[in-house]
Chains A and B, each alone.
Chain A
């Protein structure tokens, strides 16, 4: 038992060290600034979402992101998870026209979306998306925070990571570096030249709840929304997880006591 505990501790330490190493590498692998790490409500053992923030995030998404980025795998009915009522979700859905059909005459037609429809994609196909965006397809956002290392921190940093010119540290790494035409410089994007121009500026939108829409506020809200879109199960998962962990720890303690009782004369 003692050796096992010793080796277990060593293993945990080693994992901790290597994780620390990976995290440091991920953030400081280049000469640029480290990933920003704001405090997220959804982090940790008691992580949860804040409905006001989720709604603000949806407002940022629909005002800013939705013109180029879709939310695949999601339906309007999912928006109830943001705290909207049935009626509000119906109204949101009805504000989008989608193609349906064919009808009994064999014709395609358009109609307002309903809650069971998938959230409307900005482009009919990838070719159109490329045409509209200088050859790059704007990626689907519904799994984005899961699909990047340190997803929420990365997306947050990316939204706020634009620079007007090329910073000095980039030229120290690569004197030849220049931003190709049609692209923008971003501190956090792999290769630094990103097809998406900067989106978050002060005053581009107003929140319906009166919160001041600073770039930091919008970035934080939209990342929280995207995290919810990627992990809608997070609250349920962590709630259940706490019960499971407490139960298992207590039960394992009981098992240990019982094991010792049984073994006391057997050693």
Chain B
């Protein structure tokens, strides 16, 4: 904010650097005094948590890559060697494996929070779209990484997912061969997947900076969805939100540590400890839990190409949210009808997750089709219509006014 005076540095070294490249002033402005709405609730913790999960993944991944051998005959054994012979190798690997789940969990909550509180609405459309792109790259990165240990599920997941391009008219077959570097998933596929799995996290890291840049331009949304109007509406980021985020991080690390140390293979498939065998297809090919809803959408459509298209659309459609949601009120708090539809949609998403883990037969397929239909109906029918028909509740005039009103109510009670 323009009202914040630039800090005057007294340390000569800091002064020298800052005069030539104002990195300390920048940090002061964006991390210390950065005006943050004073009413952010704990749902706002998950963005920074996701960022920390990304950093943990990159660091543990750098050490994994020092011991991993991207070759079809050696990859599986190199992972076993890492877990058995390398000092704390098991710890590095279990940190990496389990933090992926934490990362996806945080990002899902972060996305749903944005949906509930209308964080995608003007002027935050670009911030939101960059976020969806980050999610897209995450999906790709996680998929590539899951292939690297070269277990049975690695190999067959790679086969199923890369085959998704084959129904594309005219070029599909050619495209698959080009992706594989052969006539099926093979050593060349593994090597390129390793290369890309190392590259994409850096891309995510760069995108996160764009995401933060856009965020610090438009500033955070808040549970009331009203714009920050005066100084009393905000608190400096430090110490208020640094402390709140630190506490949230502590809770997340307790949960993460439980899985790393006491249930490290909980999110894994046991069959992935059987080395990849192109001659033996596993009974059920199931992706990781964070892909299940989209896997359910893929399988709901009897036509292969249609399934692939819908699966991609199911994420792409998030990008159009700022324009599909016609309501002028941001926060779901003041939208009595939307609120319900939001939770129904979340339930639908959870249902799709469950269906993704079930075999594609009988009632599961029918349920998957209805759940998929509702998933899209929420975006293309319900949200646009709500904007016209919903009678929203009165929105408070400012954040501080709402906070004071809350205090008055408490005092009266």
Contact = CB atoms under 8 A, between A and B. Distances in A.
Interface of A: 1, 3-4, 18, 45, 72-74, 78, 139, 142-143, 146-149, 151, 190, 232-233, 237-238, 240-242, 244-245, 248-249, 251-252, 255-256, 258-259, 262-263, 266-267
Given A147-B273, A259-B244, A266-B235, A252 B250 contact: yes
B90 interface: yes
Interface in B183-205: none
A151 B265 CA distance: 12
Contacts of B41: 1, 3-4
Nearest to B262: A241
Interface residues of B, number: 38
Contact of B250 (A233, A238, A242, A251): A251
Contact of A259 (B246, B254, B271, B407): B246
Given A241-B262, A262-B243, 16 more contacts: A4-B41, A45-B262, A72-B80, A74-B84, A146-B273, A147-B274, A148-B270, A149-B270, A237-B91, A238-B262, A241-B261, A245-B261, A248-B253, A256-B250, A262-B240, A263-B243
Given A1-B42, A146-B265, A241-B260, A73 B80 contact: yes
Contact of A151 (B43, B83, B270, B283): B270
11 contacts: A1-B42, A73-B81, A142-B80, A233-B83, A233-B84, A241-B258, A248-B254, A248-B257, A256-B250, A259-B243, A259-B244
Nearest to A256: B247
Interface in B388-411: 403, 407
A259 to B, nearest CB: 4
Interface of A is mostly: helix
Interface string B67-90: 000000000010011011000001
Interface of B: 38, 41-43, 77, 80-81, 83-84, 90-91, 94, 235, 239-240, 243-244, 246-247, 250-251, 253-254, 257-258, 260-262, 264-265, 270-271, 273-274, 283, 354, 403, 407
Contacts of B240: 262-263, 266
Contacts of A18: 354
Contact of B270 (A1, A3, A146): A146
Nearest to A261: B243
A7 to B, nearest CB: 9
A255 B270 contact: no
Nearest to B243: A259
B254 A245 contact: yes
Contacts of B264: 237
A234 to B, nearest CB: 9
B288 to A, nearest CB: 15
A45 to B, nearest CB: 6
B239 A262 contact: yes
A147 B243 CA distance: 42
A232 B273 CA distance: 15
Contacts of B43: 4
